[in-house]
Amino acid sequence: MMVKSQNGSKLSPEIFKGLRDLIYDKSGIFFPEAKLYLLEGRLTTRLRDLGLSDFRDYFTYIKRVSVQAEELIKLYSLITINETYFFRYPKQLDIFDKRLLPEFISRHPDEKNKKLKIWSTASSSGEELFTLAIMIRELLGKDVSNWDIDLKGTDISERMLELARQAEYGHNSFRGKLEGRYLSRYFKQNGERYQVNQNIKNMASFDYLNLRDINSIRKQRGLDFIFCRNVLIYFDREMKKRVVDAFYEILNHGGYLFLGEAESLHGVSSSFKVEHFPSAFVYKKE
């Protein structure tokens, strides 16, 4: 089977397999044969931008050592879905806000041990991590200054990371369950855009991290919460196991792992305990 792109070139099974294997080797993202059309559609734009006539030329291009690192960054932005907005998945966030975070805070009454470390593993343009920052500041109030809070967002897309660092958003980022008081309290309106206030922006940092790099995952030690929502869907089972095992290593005992609402660790890991709530479930390291 061959797929014809908008510029008339065809993605052959041979080139598809070569590109798929390269992407998997570099990122852990796996494209089954059923997603040949998806990969072809995403890459058509790059062929046009680079002035290349067909996918074979692109495959030759991306294998060049001199351009590969930079081109892979552009490729990751094309093949991953950066769907995010503030207060996405409110059922999970309610569990974090009303149950897990208050319990965590109550276990740390000693001012010398008030530390909270959270990792958003695919932070995209930052809305998820800033949502968590708002929730934490709301709950802690004035006591927030007594805490050592480390909120880290990572992503495979440099373009998304730059947007997260800018922390400025349009109306599309506010289509979730966002109370009006949050908008007035934690954002500054600038025309049609909203800038995150500095006190929230200062709570978060954003860096590049490829989940394929297990050693880089293991460096993120001492975590209390990991948010890895809608990420495992890109991996095959072997890659899922490697990543989840690494998550288990770096979580503190009693720490929690949040996955996407349609994701589970069934057949991937039995190390975590599933904690069921009326509206959702999360994974705990006991």
Which residue ranges form the domains of the chain, and what is each CATH number?
Answer: 3-79 (1.10.155.10), 90-284 (3.40.50.150)
The stretches of 167-277 forming alpha helices (DSSP H) are 180-186, 198-201, 214-218, 237-250
pLDDT at 268: 95
pLDDT at 185: 93
Sheet holding 204-208, edge to edge: 204-208, 148-155, 115-120, 223-228, 251-259, 281-284, 273-276
The stretches of 108-153 forming alpha helices (DSSP H) are 127-140
Place of tokens 């509206």: 279
Structure tokens, 23: 């992407």
The stretches of 158-253 forming alpha helices (DSSP H) are 158-166, 180-186, 198-201, 214-218, 237-250
pLDDT (tens place) for every residue of the chain, 286 residues total? 334 444 456 789 899 999 999 999 988 888 888 888 888 988 988 899 999 989 999 999 999 978 888 888 888 878 877 778 999 999 999 999 999 999 999 998 776 789 999 999 999 999 999 999 999 999 999 999 999 999 999 999 888 999 999 999 998 999 877 777 888 899 999 999 999 999 999 999 999 999 999 999 999 999 999 999 989 988 999 999 999 999 999 999 999 999 998 899 999 999 999 999 988 999 999 8
Structure tokens, 192: 């049609």
